[in-house]
Chain A
């Protein structure tokens, strides 16, 4: 890797340079396409018309539902009502939970379907109770992407932070005055206790103030630690073996099979999108940490780092503005590879019937419904293909990024 200091602008240049690979362009297109689907899925696959006339007025049922506007329609509206005229349905006139009783019991995409016109054809077939597979895939893209990106985002924050400080400070470079260290530890214990009892104390009468109490406590903790360092700063300094601590935590996480941990945690917590993302974040940070740590150890020995320190630039600024941007490349590779793994974990969980709430759909869930009837190949082929393409795209971008970084 090049030795010159870079800034975040190098990322833009890097992405531009990678544009010359066809695989990269295709993977990028697929991911952008998915983003588009995830954002506008309700306008592409919906059982409500985009536009219609009702009792003399013009209505936009899908918009009205999403924006929460007043509308004369509700969930039980029959769209075949003759009072509703000039309907324009979305491209796929089904939502993921629309039941088409005429086409239940696994209708094949190539077989005969009981439909009034080609407009209402189930292009990728239906499942047992007559839900459209394509509509499910379009709406399911949102859950898969949100969990994948959110989960790997949490992992990236954890990994970059832990790997960064572990690699930068090593075992010897973070010196902390002894009294300051003791003060911080004691304060931490006291504040942990307060974080436990204050929500109970102020939670009388069923009021939940945990969030605000935790934020206030956290803020006070940081301020107190900082103030102590400003006021008393004479006692003897001790080394804080940060790197050693990070490695020990890594060792524990490495010895727990990732998918198994995801499985058990997904089973323990109540189904929710946020928790699945959190679980994925907690299980995916180790590889990002390793990459970050390794690169940070190389970067901190570079001449420009020593120059920056000799100029008297504050340590945290050296870390954030000089070391971090230069060391982040390999972590980005790990993040891209982790993205594929995160999406895989989500679909793995949904496939096993755990994780996301029952009223949501995701690719893994659709794939799981193929196990009800092994003759319905379309239930397995198409959702699986979507999962595969997404993981493949993320992996290829990651690998090409690695090659580009190596090339300098």
Chain B
């Protein structure tokens, strides 16, 4: 048994690791520029005052270091040979992206870097001029465009028009000619470096390592919306989701078992047949539709006074001095509809599965022997039949649990219950990715643990498998 447990745990670790890789990969796909989300990046598009830009950049660097954005993404990277080893250190991200796109287009890092620096210097010269020329806006516009584009033809065109604008003055304000020469050199440089791979080892000072070790320590980072700890936010939401789902689970187990046993024992009666055909329909009801209907028809008095039975949503607030009975009644009235909408399809699933396996069990010889021994019908069904018929349900639970966690997202939204699902949704809407992936990782870990528990329970309860394991060990 212990050996079996150990083996299962061994499988647990690589699964979590792979999921963490997937989650990290996805989070990189979306991460974008988190710092800009925090401090804004309007300055990048209309940057007229160099000192302001410098102080913005300083603030940017500070926060980026805090988020470890100046570190490489992973333990190693494989890059084209013409990329510099420390491109990841270039901040802000916008500049890094621009450099990368120019590198892909022209191939020579030294020239590309000089080109970008010259364009920036030109921009600085222009905005700090004491007496601005009459066509300042046009020139500034052209220089700004130069700082963004990578296309050969477009850069040529921009340089030409910049030259034309400048030629209206006897003295040249900007070093356009030098820039044009540099560009010619850059445009004719070789790009073969792009094709050759280069392997770089970064060690443990990388974003993934920090994220994963933070995860293992329980530190999931910071929400960009309200600067709160992600772990704190999740811990505030988790109990509500757990309560909701456990309540739904218990309700559906209770009614599912009753219904399943009834359907199996009276499988020939017309009522049971009618019920069976209705269960198939219940299974197909989307829980968020059911929840919407319940909210519409049972929380307002639009359809007669009696339909306003339940509060219209929320988790219910409990004042400090409330009595125990009052507390329970508030929770019950708020959770009744959500629990119903989660558990109704589940009841169907459980009842169908139990019916199927119980019918098979009840035909077996040991049931007949028990009957002949004069054991009461009730004990035969519940003590012998159901006990043996329950295993398929246990295996099915493994796939049910993840479904419940996902499905409760919509339920929490509809009933406005501030659980994990609602937290996840709000974080998605506000692009708060550290919360999104924190929730995702936590749910995955919870799912794996519950799958593991289910497995252990299965082995513990089923003597056939337990004995086989013990023989093998």
Contact pick for B299, options A367, A374, A381, CB 8 Å: A374
Q: Given A374-B296, A388-B289 in contact, is the A259-B284 Cβ separation under 8 Å?
A: no
Q: Are A371 and B19 in contact (CB under 8 A)?
A: no
Q: Does B406 contact A (CB under 8 A)?
A: yes
Contact pick for B424, options A204, A254, A263, CB 8 Å: A263
- CB nearest to A383 among chain B residues: B289
Query: Please, what's the 1-or-0 string for A90-104, where 1 marks a CB less than 8 Å from any CB in chain B?
Result: 000000000000000
The secondary-structure label for the interface of chain B is helix
- CB nearest to A260 among chain B residues: B406
Q: Which of B163-217 contact A (CB under 8 A)?
A: 191, 194-195, 197
A377 / chain B contacts, CB cutoff of 8 Å: 293, 296-297
Q: Does A203 contact B (CB under 8 A)?
A: yes
Q: Are B197 and A260 in contact (CB under 8 A)?
A: no
Determine the distance from Cα of A245 to Cα of B378 in the docked complex, in whole angstroms. 47
Q: Are A370 and B151 in contact (CB under 8 A)?
A: no
A251 / chain B contacts, CB cutoff of 8 Å: 11, 15
What is the total of A-B residue contacts with beta carbons within 8 Å?
Answer: 142
Q: Given A265-B26, A268-B29, A340-B284 in contact, is the A384-B406 Cβ separation under 8 Å?
A: no
Q: Does B316 contact A (CB under 8 A)?
A: no
Determine the distance from Cα of A189 to Cα of B413 in the docked complex, in whole angstroms. 45
Q: Are B424 and A257 in contact (CB under 8 A)?
A: no
Q: Does B402 contact A (CB under 8 A)?
A: yes
Q: Does A211 contact B (CB under 8 A)?
A: no
Q: Does A111 contact B (CB under 8 A)?
A: no
Determine the distance from Cα of A193 to Cα of B14 in the docked complex, in whole angstroms. 26
A254 / chain B contacts, CB cutoff of 8 Å: 398-399, 402, 451
Q: Are B402 and A256 in contact (CB under 8 A)?
A: yes
Contact pick for A395, options B280, B398, B428, CB 8 Å: B280
Q: Given A205-B151, A352-B409 in contact, is the A255-B19 Cβ separation under 8 Å?
A: yes
- Among A23, A380, A391, A399, the one with the most B-chain Cβ atoms within 10 Å of its Cβ is A380
Q: Are B406 and A259 in contact (CB under 8 A)?
A: yes
Q: Which of A349-401 contact B (CB under 8 A)?
A: 351-354, 367, 370-371, 374-375, 377, 380-381, 384, 387-388, 391-392, 395-396, 399
Contact pick for B284, options A197, A198, A388, CB 8 Å: A388
- CB nearest to A200 among chain B residues: B104
Determine the distance from Cα of A380 to Cα of B414 in the docked complex, in whole angstroms. 12
Determine the distance from Cα of A395 to Cα of B403 in the docked complex, in whole angstroms. 17
Q: Given A348-B410, A388-B286 in contact, is the A255-B448 Cβ separation under 8 Å?
A: yes
Q: Does A69 contact B (CB under 8 A)?
A: no
- Among A203, A258, A268, A374, the one with the most B-chain Cβ atoms within 10 Å of its Cβ is A374
What's the interface size class on A, roughly? 35 or more
Q: Given A268-B26, A352-B425, A384-B293 in contact, is the A344-B409 Cβ separation under 8 Å?
A: no
- CB nearest to A376 among chain B residues: B296
Determine the distance from Cα of A375 to Cα of B307 in the docked complex, in whole angstroms. 13
Determine the distance from Cα of A381 to Cα of B153 in the docked complex, in whole angstroms. 57
Q: Does B264 contact A (CB under 8 A)?
A: no
Q: Does A185 contact B (CB under 8 A)?
A: no
**Interface stretch (choices B321-329, B439-447, B456-464):** B439-447
Query: Please, what's the 1-or-0 string for A330-341, where 1 marks a CB less than 8 Å from any CB in chain B?
Result: 000000000010
A387 / chain B contacts, CB cutoff of 8 Å: 286, 289
- CB nearest to B101 among chain A residues: A200
B30 / chain A contacts, CB cutoff of 8 Å: 267-268
Min distance, Cβ A259 to any Cβ of chain B, angstroms: 3
Contact pick for B292, options A197, A258, A263, A371, CB 8 Å: A371
Q: Does B285 contact A (CB under 8 A)?
A: yes
Determine the distance from Cα of A344 to Cα of B19 in the docked complex, in whole angstroms. 24
Determine the distance from Cα of A367 to Cα of B295 in the docked complex, in whole angstroms. 13
Q: Does A66 contact B (CB under 8 A)?
A: no
Q: Does A347 contact B (CB under 8 A)?
A: yes
A367 / chain B contacts, CB cutoff of 8 Å: 288-289, 292
Q: Does B247 contact A (CB under 8 A)?
A: no
Q: Does B122 contact A (CB under 8 A)?
A: no
- CB nearest to A268 among chain B residues: B30
Q: Does B134 contact A (CB under 8 A)?
A: no
A351 / chain B contacts, CB cutoff of 8 Å: 288, 410
Q: Given A257-B402, A348-B410 in contact, is the A201-B194 Cβ separation under 8 Å?
A: yes
Residues of B bordering A, CB below 8 Å: 11, 14-15, 18-19, 22, 26, 29-30, 78, 80, 104-105, 151-153, 191, 194-195, 197, 277, 280-281, 283-286, 288-289, 292-293, 295-297, 299-300, 302, 312, 398-399, 402-403, 405-407, 409-410, 413-414, 424-425, 428-429, 436-437, 440, 443-444, 447-448, 451
Residues of A bordering B, CB below 8 Å: 23, 193, 197-198, 200-201, 203-206, 248, 251-252, 254-260, 262-265, 267-268, 340, 344, 347-348, 351-354, 367, 370-371, 374-375, 377, 380-381, 384, 387-388, 391-392, 395-396, 399
Instruction: Enumerate the 7 nearest inter-chain pairs by beta-carbon distance, A residue then B residue, closest first.
Output: A259-B406, A384-B289, A392-B284, A257-B402, A257-B406, A391-B284, A267-B428
